[in-house]
Amino acid sequence: MGSGALGMEMMQNEFSAIGMRNIWNDVNRLEKICEVEITLAEAQAELGIIPADKAKIIREQVNVENIDMRKLRLSYGKSGHFLSGFVKYFEDILPDDAGSYLHYGSTTQDILDTGMVLQLKEAHEDTLKRLKKLMRLISSKANALSDVVGVGRAHGNHAIPINYGYKLAIYLNELMDLYQRLKDSEDYVFTSAISGAVGSYAGYGDKGLEMAELVAEKLHLSFDKIGWHTQRGRFVEYTHILAMLSGVMGKMGKNLFDLSRSEIKEFDESYGKGRQGSTAMPTMRNPYLSEAVYNLANLIHNEMNLMYQSMLVSHEKDTIGWRNQWVAIPEITMYLSGQFAYLTAAMQNGTFHLEAIERNLHTEQGMLVSERLMMALSSEIGKSAAHKLIYNIGNESREENTSFEENVRADQAIQKALSDEELDELFNVHTYVGQSEKLGKEILNNYANFKF
């Protein structure tokens, strides 16, 4: 059994999804290391650097199925260096001296960095798959609410009305942008790292550059002849995009949490039969999904400190920043998978309550259209005077606990400036949404035509 939030069997599903965890487990890491070593040997054989028959043995026998984990751990422990232990393990079991040509001319970072890139590429595909599903769900909800008007909130308080479909479509707009940024990063991020001890290809001989490009081609990775062992910025940039993606989801989780509050109740997470909210209060239905989405954004953003620090590499190599990324990259992608799982469940099974959305439009007795009233009066008495008049009526209504709308209608200056029919229209919250309905539908149309 593992340890910590991502390792404990009774806790790990609260922080991550099993599919993403499997990408970063021991077996998959070893598979990728084997794949890189095999591909290196095959490229060297094609170029006449090592004998073809030795590369064939390496291809056939360097695999996870041939690894005794206990013996590998002992080999690693004895050498004090993981990849040295790995190479020694296979040198001892490969026949016909093929082990002498494993890891030929290579350096640890070539193999481990390239292997990590292969893992990250799988994590990337998993992330895109989850993101596409979430966008579909948000689009569906936004479409369903495209004719609904709700409260627009500023600083946690009622501001002016907004089209509810637009309220959700804004998230979709951000997610489409980040999806495209992730796609655009692929060639830069998913790059092989075969360049030798200090990035000079010296150990690989005269055919080193040709060999490294061939390895990249075989692994379906891009190739950069300038070794990037010390240039960790590609991963910082990539995880920065993931952190922004996490931030959008975290913001959505926070807002769904607010909308779930008892006094608002515009949104409810699904509570199927048997789901519990509290051991103390049997009737509680807490918005745990939304809370988790918000919490995981905090965890991911904290991981970015490690990523930024990982760029501070000494000269041509050290393991300090490297080790930062070994921790942060898997954890960021795993936490992100947990965010997707929670927010997808909330969107798929949660309910937006139309009655509550409508009710909340009227809880402040007309103050939701104070901007509209001010602008209508501005052409008659000037904006500053209109602002002061509506401001004073608002204060009076709060202090005396009276109806804002009734006080507006009773004001003599307003009666002179606006007719009852005009006031009826001005107080109609459903017709004061600006361009939000149009913009919401524009975003949904952009999504319908989005090229994945």
User: Does 95 lie in the same domain as 121?
Assistant: no
Contact 194, 216 (CB under 8 A): yes
Element (H, E) at 151: strand 149-154
- pLDDT at 26 (0 to 100): 96
Per-residue model confidence as pLDDT tens digits over 365-423: 999 999 999 999 999 999 999 999 999 999 999 999 999 999 999 999 999 999 999 99
Per-residue model confidence as pLDDT tens digits over 84-116: 999 999 999 999 999 999 999 999 999 999 999
Report d(CA 407, CA 423) in Å as an integer: 12
Q: Which of 3, 155, 262, 419 is catalytic?
A: 155
Per-residue model confidence as pLDDT tens digits over 161-192: 999 999 999 999 999 999 999 999 999 999 99
User: Does 50 lie in the same domain as 186?
Assistant: no
Q: Confidence band (pLDDT; 50, 70, 90) for 287?
A: confident
- pLDDT greater at residue 150 or residue 277: 150
Q: How far is CA 450 from CA 132, 139, 179, 320, 444, in A?
A: 11, 12, 10, 41, 10
User: Does 239 lie in the same domain as 147?
Assistant: yes
Which structure tokens are listed for 59? 């291809």
Q: Confidence band (pLDDT; 50, 70, 90) for 298?
A: very high
Q: Is 278 marked active-site?
A: yes
- pLDDT at 328 (0 to 100): 98
User: Does 352 lie in the same domain as 326?
Assistant: yes
Q: What does the pLDDT average to over 27-32?
A: 98
Q: Which residues pair with 158 in a beta bridge?
A: 153
Report d(CA 325, CA 313) in Å as an integer: 12
Last residue in a domain, options 179, 206, 226: 226
Q: Confidence band (pLDDT; 50, 70, 90) for 303?
A: very high
Q: What does the pLDDT average to over 133-154?
A: 98
**pLDDT over 70 for what percent of the chain?**
98
Per-residue model confidence as pLDDT tens digits over 64-81: 999 999 999 999 899 999
In-domain check, residue 68:
yes
User: Does 21 lie in the same domain as 39?
Assistant: yes
Report d(CA 450, CA 253) in Å as an integer: 24
Is residue 452 pLDDT above 90, yes or no? no
The dihedral through the CA atoms of 307, 313, 316, 318 has a sign that is negative
Report d(CA 92, CA 100) in Å as an integer: 10
- pLDDT at 146 (0 to 100): 97
- pLDDT at 224 (0 to 100): 96
User: Which CATH number fits the domain that encloses residue 314?
Assistant: 1.20.200.10
- pLDDT greater at residue 280 or residue 232: 232
Is residue 331 pLDDT above 90, yes or no? yes
User: Which CATH number fits the domain that encloses residue 210?
Assistant: 1.10.275.10
Q: Which of 200, 270, 278, 379 is catalytic?
A: 278
* Position 451, amino acid: K
Is residue 279 pLDDT above 70, yes or no? no
Report d(CA 338, CA 446) in Å as an integer: 27
User: Does 131 lie in the same domain as 235?
Assistant: yes
User: Does 292 lie in the same domain as 252?
Assistant: yes
Is residue 1 pLDDT above 70, yes or no? no
In-domain check, residue 136:
yes
Mean pLDDT (the chain) is: 95
- pLDDT at 10 (0 to 100): 85
Q: How far is CA 299 from CA 9, 127, 134, in A?
A: 19, 17, 20
Read off the pTM: 0.95
Q: Confidence band (pLDDT; 50, 70, 90) for 155?
A: very high
In-domain check, residue 449:
no
Report d(CA 48, CA 211) in Å as an integer: 10
Q: What does the pLDDT average to over 6-29?
A: 93
Q: Confidence band (pLDDT; 50, 70, 90) for 283?
A: low
- pLDDT greater at residue 278 or residue 298: 298
Q: Confidence band (pLDDT; 50, 70, 90) for 272?
A: confident
Per-residue model confidence as pLDDT tens digits over 189-226: 999 999 999 999 999 999 999 999 999 999 999 999 99
Domain that holds residue 70: 16-106+194-226
Is residue 282 pLDDT above 80, yes or no? no
Which structure tokens are listed for 69? 């984990």
Contact 106, 49 (CB under 8 A): no
- pLDDT greater at residue 342 or residue 228: 342
- pLDDT at 270 (0 to 100): 83
Ordered alpha helix ranges (H), 2-95? 18-23, 26-46, 52-61, 69-79, 82-93
User: Does 85 lie in the same domain as 184?
Assistant: no
User: Does 219 lie in the same domain as 235?
Assistant: no
Is residue 444 pLDDT above 80, yes or no? yes
In-domain check, residue 397:
yes
Is residue 276 pLDDT above 80, yes or no? no
User: Does 258 lie in the same domain as 376?
Assistant: no
